Amino acid sequence: MMEAIEEIRRQLGEDAVSTDEEDLQTHGFSSWSTVNPDRLPVAVAYPRSTEEVSAIARVCHHYRVPLVPYSGGSSLEGNFSAPHGGVSVDFHHMNKIVQINKADMDVVVQPSIGWQDLNAELSKAGTGLFFPIDPGPTARIGGMVGTNCSGTNAVRYGTMKDWVINLTVVLADGRVIKTRRRPRKSAAGYNLNGLFVGSEGTLGLVTEATLKLAVIPEETSVAVVDFPSIRDAAAAAAAVMQAAVPVQCMEIMDEIQMRVVNQSGFTAPRVWEEKPTLFFKFSGSKPGVQEHIESVKKITAEKNGGKFEFAKNEQEQQLLWSARKQSLWSMLALRKEGDDVCPLTRLDGTGSTDVAVPLSRLADLIEVSKKEMDDLGMFASVIGHIGDGNFHESFMYNKADEGERRKVEACVKAMVRRALDMDGTCTGEHGVGWGKKDSLLLELGAETVGVMSAIKGSLDPRWILNPGKIIDVPWEAGKEKKQ
């Protein structure tokens, strides 16, 4: 391990590798994550180019040292943790836009650019284009490719895999490949984009990506619609999907989350009803937006009597939407002394807040899960990208209280199992990481996970790329320790 680090320093320069204790902590532990292993990376490398990443990989391949990619550090399932030690590869310096191809509606970027920064640059360059995938505010392209992330825009624009034109990838042994040239559509050979997106750095390290861009809509409108019950809200959302109204976003928040929005003061002086609520973002041409609003009003009227509150201006639109996007932060701001907020809690890896089910089952799943959470008598709430059948549970609980921890754990396990029973998935957008391997196995079975393992073994026979994520390292299964 130490020889590998010295060799990387020799090839890339003294500054290219850090073994600073704080650095190792930042790159191996996350207080947002549902799980953290009890090991940290041994070093953090800071490459500046594809060639340097390739050099690092060659060295680590030679010495059989694990390589764990790191960009925004905002993932939730221990995706960038280092349960087998090794080198964290932080793409910090590789955060540039390489090329904007306006006429082709695409952009070439390095992995450590944030999606918000990318959009700011596209705006500054006057392209009239934007990148529509919007996960947590601090997420960066590399990690977004890794988890096949999505966000509030996914109901209209799809997920990360739908926006990748090509990837430059450093393989386990340092070879560099490009998955495609730059056509928006191709049927030429295996869809390697589709394979690398969502593989969480276990098959290769992405050093450059060409992404499709979308045209910024002419008009945007944000509306808030409350309902008597969470079931009514979920049913209305399913009806909007079944009527194919092309909303840009459709989010559900329960009465607890609405209280958080009010208490956080994000939208002050505006105060919202603390009831189960759907948030809509409409966008398109001016007449198109009006038409979509009318359609949704008609669909929701039956359950809520036609109440429909609009953000009054662009500033309120942004405030309202950021209240939704930053719901986790809002909760954090409200936490009682001694409570520890995280989107789930530090469970032992089988549970998670993020599941997705077929549309028709969503109202059932949310209603039952919500009731179970209420019965816990803790601060717990439901929030979700309801148009995708994807929702999250959030808990606030006292980590020191073993009883609370157990209740939360049981409740989340039940939710994942219920989602699977409804033909759903254990994660709609956060990925498997280190935290959900058991759930993945429960979801797909040993044969299907075995196919993933065979593919992994074919591209990384020494199993050095982000080992222990998605699937167990075959010869070390069951040996992992969690905090």
Find the shortest distance in angstroms from Cβ 327 to a second copy: 19
Applying CB under 8 A, the site for a second copy has a residue count of 90
Q: For residues 233-258, b (16+ Cβ closer than 10 Å) or e, as one string?
A: bbbbbbbbbeeebebbbbbbbbbbbb
- Block residue for tokens 């969690």: 482
Find the shortest distance in angstroms from Cβ 151 to a second copy: 11
Instruction: Indicate the residue type of 1.
Output: M
Only one of the segments 57-65, 254-262, 310-318, 442-450 lies at the binding site for a second copy (rule: CB under 8 A); that segment is 442-450
Question: Which residues, at least 6 apart from 279, have a Cβ–Cβ distance to it below 8 Å?
Answer: 222, 223, 224, 249, 250, 251, 252, 253, 320, 321, 324
137 touches a second copy (CB under 8 A): no
Structure-token pair, residue 293: 């609003």
Structure-token pair, residue 442: 């429960």
Give SS3 for 224: strand
Pairing mode, strands 67-70 and 43-45:
unpaired
Pairing mode, strands 87-90 and 106-109:
unpaired
CA distance 49 to 54: 9
Only one of the segments 38-46, 185-193, 314-322, 366-374 lies at the binding site for a second copy (rule: CB under 8 A); that segment is 185-193
Find the shortest distance in angstroms from Cβ 183 to a second copy: 4
37 touches a second copy (CB under 8 A): no
Ordered DSSP codes for 253-287: E-HHHHHHHHHHTTTTT----SS-EEEEEEEESHH
Q: Helices (DSSP H) in 202-253: which residue ranges?
A: 230-242
413 touches a second copy (CB under 8 A): no
CA distance 214 to 305: 35
Residue 67 main-chain phi, psi, to 5 deg = -125, 120
Only one of the segments 20-28, 168-176, 328-336, 406-414 lies at the binding site for a second copy (rule: CB under 8 A); that segment is 168-176
225 touches a second copy (CB under 8 A): no
Q: Which is nearer to a second copy, 187 or 268 (CB)?
A: 187
287 touches a second copy (CB under 8 A): yes
Find the shortest distance in angstroms from Cβ 303 to a second copy: 17
Only one of the segments 45-53, 66-74, 86-94, 183-191 lies at the binding site for a second copy (rule: CB under 8 A); that segment is 183-191
Applying CB under 8 A, which of residues 140, 275, 392, 430 lies at the interface with a second copy? 430
474 touches a second copy (CB under 8 A): no
199 touches a second copy (CB under 8 A): yes
Q: Is 88 left (phi over 0), alpha (psi -120 to 50) or beta?
A: beta
Find the shortest distance in angstroms from Cβ 263 to a second copy: 31
Find the shortest distance in angstroms from Cβ 300 to a second copy: 18
Structure-token pair, residue 121: 């640059």
Q: Which is nearer to a second copy, 423 or 476 (CB)?
A: 423
Instruction: Indicate the residue type of 340.
Output: D
Q: Which is nearer to a second copy, 23 or 443 (CB)?
A: 443
What residues from 382 to 401 belong to the interface with a second copy (CB under 8 A)? Answer: 388-390
Ordered DSSP codes for 352-397: -S-EE--GGGHHHHHHHHHHHHHHHTSEEEEEEEGGGTEEEEEEEE
265 touches a second copy (CB under 8 A): no
Instruction: Indicate the residue type of 384.
Output: G
Only one of the segments 66-74, 188-196, 247-255, 313-321 lies at the binding site for a second copy (rule: CB under 8 A); that segment is 188-196
Find the shortest distance in angstroms from Cβ 143 to a second copy: 12
201 touches a second copy (CB under 8 A): no
Applying CB under 8 A, which of residues 337, 454, 478, 481 lies at the interface with a second copy? 454
Q: Which is nearer to a second copy, 256 or 440 (CB)?
A: 440
Applying CB under 8 A, which of residues 232, 429, 472, 480 lies at the interface with a second copy? 429
Q: Which is nearer to a second copy, 150 or 327 (CB)?
A: 150
The set of long-range contacts for 114-122, using a CB threshold of 8 Å and a minimum separation of 24, is: 114/72, 114/138, 114/139, 114/140, 114/141, 115/139, 115/140, 115/141, 115/144, 121/97, 122/213
What residues from 59 to 118 belong to the interface with a second copy (CB under 8 A)? Answer: 101, 103-106
Applying CB under 8 A, which of residues 54, 159, 257, 381 lies at the interface with a second copy? 159
Only one of the segments 301-309, 323-331, 403-411, 453-461 lies at the binding site for a second copy (rule: CB under 8 A); that segment is 453-461
Residue 350 main-chain phi, psi, to 5 deg = -95, -10
What residues from 361 to 380 belong to the interface with a second copy (CB under 8 A)? Answer: 361
